[in-house]
């Protein structure tokens, strides 16, 4: 068996876990992307994180933008390149075009000067990392693709000899199709990463894909990422948790005693519960009780509300005998209300993760997922659900999500079909038409790793809260919303 | 005219460029012509200052405008055209 290749952590959030442990050490990685796909940001951040997190100096070979432009443009991300230059942690190799002086080719040439400069700069600061941005400029200037390719191979080889791990950016003309513009760039390096920035449902959606990592494992497929001021690129590694076992057999209250009974004594501490129902069936009330139950046990609780204003939420809770204001004052509750449309789904996920990281809740509720679903595209929504679910599970947080069904009686929602496989417990709330009246029904559809009641019970909600009653008996088709009464009951000869 | 030639060690194209540049300079009229030869391996800082990528690179620094030629200068007709010098053949035939 070969020994696994040594890795170098990039320090870029999310990327190292997509790479399953970072880049392969002293190898070169091609970063291919269309214009505006954040290639330069990634190239700069690779060096910046190296300096900030690992005290590894780096050289930046700029073939397009001037060092001065880079220093200015990157300051917004919080990277003080000038300071690092003074400290001897960052060195530029300035190969940006010299204005009007375009070189004329007159005979055989090589990149001896560039390689000598790279070696000199790297040696001066003891570089561990290098970024070269962007090769397109060199191909345009020197035209002879065969020579350029041969010389780039020499450059990559020199970097390897100096034990430097490098990123080399190249331009693509389309989001899908050939990897690079000149068709040879990808043969220069061992590894290829593609950045994309396509338009989907009238929104830009940035993704990062590791196409090739020679001799090493990595996660496959496209992963969303965001670029934000003050922090740069953050990728969102989505780990599928569908096969993951529950790590905890400890049960906690759902906030409703009767529902706990239906669930054989409560929900598992690190499980995710989905409450699905039409508008007005009591989803927000369940979320409120869930948080109340948590606070009563001394747990820290977090609510992300995407449907109602803060005033509305607090007023409703008041009516149900739950004082959110007092709970917040005690420090055991944090309520965050937001319009789903204010930002993209990827940004929502990152913001939610940040809040969780900071507040460290024991349980959290999202009311409702369906509101978020409307703010994005289906794929982004599924990624958000998977990302959020796997994240709160690793933090051993009890989660409760609500989802709104589109039809008033019966039916299912898109949200449900998206997330039913990754939630542990599904509770359905349904309107039921019975003897000319609308009633509410509740049932536990699934509960992973536990016995649960299979019956459909009647749920009564009034001004003071909710009560779960006896099961509907002698009825079939309750979940469809149009139940049939079994004949024995109609005969009047029952019992 | 004032020239600087950036070369890389003793490789073939660099040695050829030195010979071609020297014969170019000696063919020029006047007495204030000069050619400075810089080896990028010996003096990488000078290459950094001048932002040189390829070797050999010949730079005509004076008189302005500055001109840059990349390669071993074996394409002398092109070199002379870029520098706005009369072609050698013409020169000889006119003598």
The pLDDT of residue B93 is: 38
CA-CA distance, A33 to A296, in Å (whole number)?
Answer: 52
> Which residues in B lie closer than 8 A to residue A102 (C-beta atoms)?
68
For residue A308, which phi and psi values (nearest 5 degrees)? -120, 155
Q: Is the pLDDT score of A281 beyond 80? A: yes
Buried b (16+ CB within 10 A) or exposed e, B42-55: eebebbbebbbbbb
Q: Average per-residue pLDDT in chain A?
A: 86
> Which residues in A lie closer than 8 A to residue B70 (C-beta atoms)?
103-106, 109, 142
Joined tokens for residue A216: 């090493």
For residue A445, which phi and psi values (nearest 5 degrees)? -80, -40
Exposed/middle/buried for residue A391 (C-beta within 10 Å: 0-12, 13-18, 19+)? buried
What positions of A carry a catalytic annotation?
Answer: 64, 307
Domain boundaries, chain A: 7-235, 251-491
Q: Is the pLDDT score of B94 beyond 60? A: no
Mean pLDDT computed over A251-274: 89
Q: Which of A161, A185, A210 is nearest to A26 (CA)?
A: A161
Cis peptide before B56 (omega within 30 of 0): yes
The pLDDT of residue A11 is: 93
Per-residue model confidence as pLDDT tens digits over A317-347: 998 889 999 999 999 999 999 888 888 888 8
Q: Which of B59, B88, B14 is nearest to A111 (CA)?
A: B14
Mean pLDDT computed over A162-189: 83
Which one is predicted more confidently, A101 or A350?
A: A350
Pick among B41, B44, B56 to test the A interface (most A CBs inside 10 A): B44
> Which residues in B lie closer than 8 A to residue A116 (C-beta atoms)?
8, 40-41, 44, 47
Give the strand pairing for A272-277 and A425-434. Answer: parallel
Contacts with B10 (C-beta within 8 Å, 6 or more apart), sequence order: none
Domain boundaries, chain B: 2-94
Mean pLDDT computed over B66-75: 90
Contact B51 A121 (CB under 8 A): no
How many CB pairs (< 8 A) connect A and B? Answer: 110
Of B48, B57, B72, the CB nearest to A108: B72
> Which residues in B lie closer than 8 A to residue A105 (C-beta atoms)?
69-71
Residues in chain A: 495
- What residue of B is the nearest CA neighbor of A151? B54
Torsion angle in degrees (nearest 10) through CA of A77, A81, A83, A87: 130
Fold annotation for A7-235: Rossmann fold (3.40.50)
B14 touching chain A per CB within 8 A: yes
Contact A107 B51 (CB under 8 A): no
Q: Is the pLDDT score of A365 beyond 90? A: yes
Instruction: Report H helices in A55-144.
Output: 67-75, 81-86, 112-125, 135-142
> Which residues in B lie closer than 8 A to residue A94 (C-beta atoms)?
48, 51
Of A95, A96, A103, the CB nearest to B57: A103
Q: Is the pLDDT score of A187 beyond 90? A: no
Which B positions 30-89 lie with beta carbon below 8 A of chain A?
40-41, 44-45, 47-48, 51-57, 65-76, 78-79, 82
Per-residue model confidence as pLDDT tens digits over A34-57: 888 999 999 999 999 999 999 999
Q: Which of A109, A144, A101 is nearest to B71 (CA)?
A: A109
The pLDDT of residue A328 is: 93
Joined tokens for residue B37: 């030869």
Of A101, A107, A110, the CB nearest to B68: A101
Task: Report the share of chain A in percent with pLDDT over 70.
Answer: 91
The pLDDT of residue A412 is: 58
Contact B40 A107 (CB under 8 A): no
The pLDDT of residue A23 is: 94
Task: Report the share of chain A in percent with pLDDT over 90.
Answer: 41
The confidence band for A14, taking pLDDT boundaries of 50, 70 and 90, is: confident
The pLDDT of residue A494 is: 45
Pick among A60, A65, A107, A150 to test the B interface (most B CBs inside 10 A): A107
Per-residue model confidence as pLDDT tens digits over B31-54: 788 999 999 999 999 999 999 999
Put simply, whether the predicted model's pTM sits higher than 0.80 gets the answer no
DSSP string for chain B: -EEEEEE-TT-HHHHHHHHHHHHHHHTSSSS--EEEEEETTT-HHHHHHHT--SBSEEEEEESSSPEEEES-S--HHHHHHHTT---HHHHHHH-
> Which residues in A lie closer than 8 A to residue B23 (C-beta atoms)?
none
Residue A440 in 3-state DSSP?
strand
The pLDDT of residue B90 is: 46
Residues forming a β-bridge with A273: A400, A425
Superfamily of domain B2-94: Glutaredoxin (3.40.30.10)
> Which residues in A lie closer than 8 A to residue B6 (C-beta atoms)?
113
Mean pLDDT computed over A419-436: 82
Mean pLDDT computed over A263-270: 88
| CATH architecture group of domain A251-491 | 3-Layer(aba) Sandwich (3.40)
Contact A95 B6 (CB under 8 A): no
CB A135 within 8 A of CB A63: yes
Mean pLDDT computed over A262-283: 88
Of A96, A102, A109, the CB nearest to B13: A109
- Which segment of A216-230, A318-332, A368-382, B65-79 scores lowest on mean pLDDT? A368-382
Contact B9 A112 (CB under 8 A): yes
Q: Is the pLDDT score of A188 beyond 90? A: no
Q: Which of A369, A340, A15 is nearest to A203 (CA)?
A: A340
The pLDDT of residue A247 is: 61
**10 Å Cβ neighbour count for A420?**
16
Joined tokens for residue A15: 């990327």
Q: Is the pLDDT score of A257 beyond 50? A: yes
The pLDDT of residue A417 is: 62
The pLDDT of residue B92 is: 43
Mean pLDDT computed over A213-225: 87
Q: Is the pLDDT score of A201 beyond 80? A: no
**10 Å Cβ neighbour count for A199?**
9
∠ CA(A394), CA(A194), CA(A132), 5° rounding? 110
Residues forming a β-bridge with A268: A251
The CA distance from A111 to the nearest CA of chain B, in Å, is: 4
């Amino acid at each position: 068996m070969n020994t696994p290749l040594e890795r170098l952590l990039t320090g870029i959030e999310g990327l190292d876990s997509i790479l399953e442990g970072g880049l392969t050490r002293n190898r070169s990685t091609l970063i291919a992307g269309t214009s505006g796909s954040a290639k330069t940001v990634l190239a700069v951040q690779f060096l910046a994180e190296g300096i900030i997190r690992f005290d590894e100096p780096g050289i930046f070979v700029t073939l397009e933008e001037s060092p001065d432009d880079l220093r200015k443009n990157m300051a917004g991300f919080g990277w003080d390149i000038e300071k690092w230059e003074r400290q001897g942690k960052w060195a530029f190799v300035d190969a940006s075009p010299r204005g009007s002086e375009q070189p004329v080719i007159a005979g055989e040439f090589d990149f001896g000067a560039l390689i000598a400069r790279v070696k000199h700069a790297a040696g001066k600061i003891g570089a561990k990392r290098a970024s070269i941005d962007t090769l397109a400029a060199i191909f345009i200037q020197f035209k002879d693709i065969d020579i350029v390719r041969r010389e780039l191979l020499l450059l990559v080889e020199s970097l390897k000899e100096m034990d430097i791990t490098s990123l080399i950016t190249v331009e693509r003309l389309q989001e899908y199709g050939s990897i690079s513009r000149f068709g040879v760039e990808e043969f220069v390096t061992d590894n290829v990463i593609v950045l994309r920035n396509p338009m989907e449902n009238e929104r830009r959606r940035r993704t990062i894909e590791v196409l090739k990592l020679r001799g090493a494992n990595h996660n496959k497929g496209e992963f969303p990422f965001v670029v934000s001021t003050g922090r740069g690129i953050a990728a969102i590694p989505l780990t599928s948790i569908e096969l993951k076992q529950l790590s905890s057999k400890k049960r906690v209250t759902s906030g409703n005693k009767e529902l706990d009974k239906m669930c054989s004594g409560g929900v598992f501490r690190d499980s995710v519960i989905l409450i699905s129902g039409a508008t007005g069936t009591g989803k927000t009330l369940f979320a409120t009780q869930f948080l109340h139950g948590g606070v009563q046990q001394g747990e820290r609780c977090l609510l992300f509300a995407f449907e109602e204003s803060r005033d509305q939420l607090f007023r409703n809770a008041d009516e149900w005998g739950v004082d959110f204001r007092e709970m917040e004052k005690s420090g055991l509750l944090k309520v965050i209300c937001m319009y789903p449309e204010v930002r993209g789904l990827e940004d929502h996920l990152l913001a939610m993760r940040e809040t969780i990281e900071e507040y460290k809740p024991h349980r959290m509720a999202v009311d409702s997922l369906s509101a978020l679903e409307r703010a994005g595209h289906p794929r982004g929504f599924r990624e958000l659900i998977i990302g959020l679910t796997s994240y709160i599970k690793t933090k051993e947080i009890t989660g409760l999500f609500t989802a709104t069904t589109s039809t008033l009686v019966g039916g299912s929602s898109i949200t449900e079909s998206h997330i039913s496989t990754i939630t542990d417990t599904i509770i359905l709330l349904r309107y039921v038409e019975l003897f000319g009246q609308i009633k509410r029904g509740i049932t536990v559809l699934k509960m992973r790793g536990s016995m649960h009641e299979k019956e459909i019970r009647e749920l009564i909600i009034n001004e003071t809260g909710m009560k779960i009653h006896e099961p509907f008996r002698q009825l079939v088709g309750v979940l469809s919303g149009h139940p049939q009464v079994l004949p024995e009951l109609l005969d009047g000869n029952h019992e | 005219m004032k020239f600087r030639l950036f070369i890389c060690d003793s490789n073939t194209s660099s040695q050829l460029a030195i010979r071609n540049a020297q014969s170019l300079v000696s063919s020029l009229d006047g007495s204030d012509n000069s050619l400075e030869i810089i080896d990028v391996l010996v003096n990488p800082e000078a290459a950094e200052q001048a932002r040189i990528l390829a070797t050999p690179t010949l730079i005509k620094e004076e008189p302005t405008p500055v001109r840059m030629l990349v390669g071993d200068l074996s394409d002398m007709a092109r070199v002379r055209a870029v520098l706005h010098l009369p072609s050698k053949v013409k020169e000889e035939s006119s003598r």
